[in-house]
Each structure stands twice: as structure tokens, then as C-alpha cells.
Amino acid sequence: MKYEVVYNISQLGFGGYSCHFEHDGVKYFADLRGTYDNGNECMIFVEGEWNGLYCRDCIPVTKAQLISCIEEFVAELEAK
């Protein structure tokens, strides 16, 4: 699957990547960035909700890593 990943610069100065994607008719938002207190963090949410469905930390902040997190998340969904 192809994901349209965009580079973000936050107000705190942390660079990161995000992506809106859809799986089985549900729209999701994935975000990977640095944080002050938790190191680097990838989180995936249902669009419009802030209850994290997926979280992974201490990983590199790269476009490829965000895609890897999304693919891992989708694989977990498909395994259910």
C-alpha cells in the first residue's frame, strides 16, 4: 500500500512525519515525532479521536519508520 507521508515541524521545534490513511473503511491518522519527555514516539489514532490505538517509542524519526509503524499497525488489525 502507498502512504502519503508529509514532513511536519511542530511549534516546539520538533520535526516529524504524519500520514492520513484508510483501512477497511476506517480513517486513521499516524504521527511520528520527538517529545520532551518520552523520546521519539509514533502514535496512530482513528481520525477525529485522540484515544491512541497504537504507540511505539524510542525509534528514529524518519519517513521510512512511520511507514513501518503503519504497516505494523495494519498487520495487527488484519490479525484480529
pLDDT at site 43: 94
CA atoms within 13 A on the CB side of 71: 10
Considering the entire predicted model, what is its pTM?
Answer: 0.89
Could you tell me the mean pLDDT of each successive run of 10 residues in the chain, 80 residues long?
A: 86 80 96 83 93 90 96 95
Q: Got the DSSP string for 10-59? A: -TTS-EEEEEEEEETTEEEEEEEEE-SSSSEEEEEEETT----SEEEES-
Can you give the pLDDT at residue 65?
Answer: 97
pLDDT at 63: 95
